Amino acid sequence: MRLSLFIPANIEAILAEWESFAATLLPAAQGLSPLELRDHAQQILEAIARDLSAPQGKQAQVDKSRGLTHVSDQAPETAAQTHAVLRARHGFDINQLCAEYRALRAVVLRLWLDEGGAEPPGLDDIVRFNEAIDQALTESVSFFSSQADRSRNLLLGMLGHDMRSPLQTIQMTAHHLAKLDDDPQVSAAATRLIRSGARMQGLLDDVLDFSRTKLGLGIRVAPAPVDVAVLVADELEQLRVAHGTQRVELDVTGDTAALCDGRRIQQMLGNLVGNAIKYGEPAEAVQVTVTGGDREISIAVRNRGPAIPPSFLCRVFEPLERGPGAETRPDSEGSLGLGLYIAREIAHAHGGEVVASSDESATVFTVRLPRGATDVCEDPPHQH
């Protein structure tokens, strides 16, 4: 009997073995009903049987073996994809998901071979069956990973949001203690609390921004008429205070009026300049240049120091990436490797871009922002 006919004829026996194996995948399977253990197994098997019975040319077989089968974006969710989502929600891990398909492959082929199915006409069925199983596994793993990523990013977003209120209370209390000025030791302790609180606030802001971008929501911006040079000067003054003796120089040329989110522009600049201070030569000044052009404004942040290796420069804006040797630096604490990623996303949210270049003479991050609102993505202010 051809495999395409064997599967529907013996589907109950196959499902019973699937259910029996799924029940061993603890602790996720504990307490699941037989229906939940089987989940979409029957629909997956029926789809495989249909695939086996459909005509397939040589080129189609080659494409399928290479994972090049095209699936339309408008196609409905497959049984394998739905199965992956439900397994993720029930707490299965990706290894357990893959084990289900491995067991399914073995069960079907064993039962079929016991029936004498591997006669010459059926040998091609084994190849096509393995391809169909691999296709279903690929669909499941892809959806499982996206579900896991989404759940993680939702958790990060909720955690970051819920931690803001107690952190703000700590900061307000610390500021109040500092103003009392009754005891030098109390004031010093309050100052340390304020600095630590500001660092934690920055980390939480980065986590929230990261989770929004990974959920497809993008960076929130609220554009308004501003003078970019004034924003930059104000942010640099704060950075000079925070970094003590580090010199940060500013040069402004041209008209720097634009329509953008001032708070976000300062956040972006703070990330870029903070990165330049961290990895640049302490004795050399960080140079910030703001240039107003006809249609755009550019902000360049330049520092001297070791060149960024080309292998790292190509992924310098990727999330959770930190510069070479960052782990051993004393100032690496409080950094998640999200600063440059968020700087890029802020530029994108304004319809602009940020690029990096590096050689032995200098490392330069250049932001280009459009003056007008035509390409600006506006979003209402965040509600707490």
Q: Cα angle at 67 between 62 and 68, to 5 degrees?
A: 75
235 CB neighbour count, 10 Å cutoff: 22
Total length of the chain = 384
* Topology given in CATH for the domain delimited by 224-370: Heat Shock Protein 90 (3.30.565)
Domain spans in the chain, listed from the N-terminal domain onward: 3-153, 163-214, 224-370
Q: What is the DSSP code (8-state) at residue 307? A: P
Cβ(219)–Cβ(161) below 8 Å: no
| Amino acid, single-letter form, for residue 247 | R
Which DSSP helix (H) or strand (E) runs through 61? Answer: helix 58-65
Cβ partners under 8 Å of residue 16, min gap 6: none
| pLDDT on residue 377 | 43
| pLDDT on residue 4 | 87
Residue 225 preceded by cis peptide, ω within 30: no
Q: What pLDDT, in 10s, does the model give residues 100-124? A: 999 999 999 888 888 776 565 566 7
- Coil, strand or helix: which one is 100? helix
Q: What pLDDT, in 10s, does the model give residues 151-193? A: 666 666 566 656 666 776 777 777 777 777 667 777 777 777 7
- Coil, strand or helix: which one is 71? coil
Cβ(297)–Cβ(256) below 8 Å: yes
Residues of the chain with pLDDT under 70: 61-76, 117-123, 150-165, 168, 181-182, 195, 198-199, 201-203, 212, 214-217, 320-336, 373-384
Question: Which CATH architecture describes the domain 3-153?
Answer: Orthogonal Bundle (1.10)
> Alpha helix (H) ranges present in 76-217?
79-89, 94-114, 120-180, 184-214
| pLDDT on residue 9 | 92
User: What's the pTM value of the predicted model, to 2 decimals?
Assistant: 0.53
Burial of 380 (0-12, 13-18, 19+ CB in 10 A): exposed
Backbone angles phi and psi of 218, in degrees to 5: 75, 175
Structure tokens at 340: 């440059």
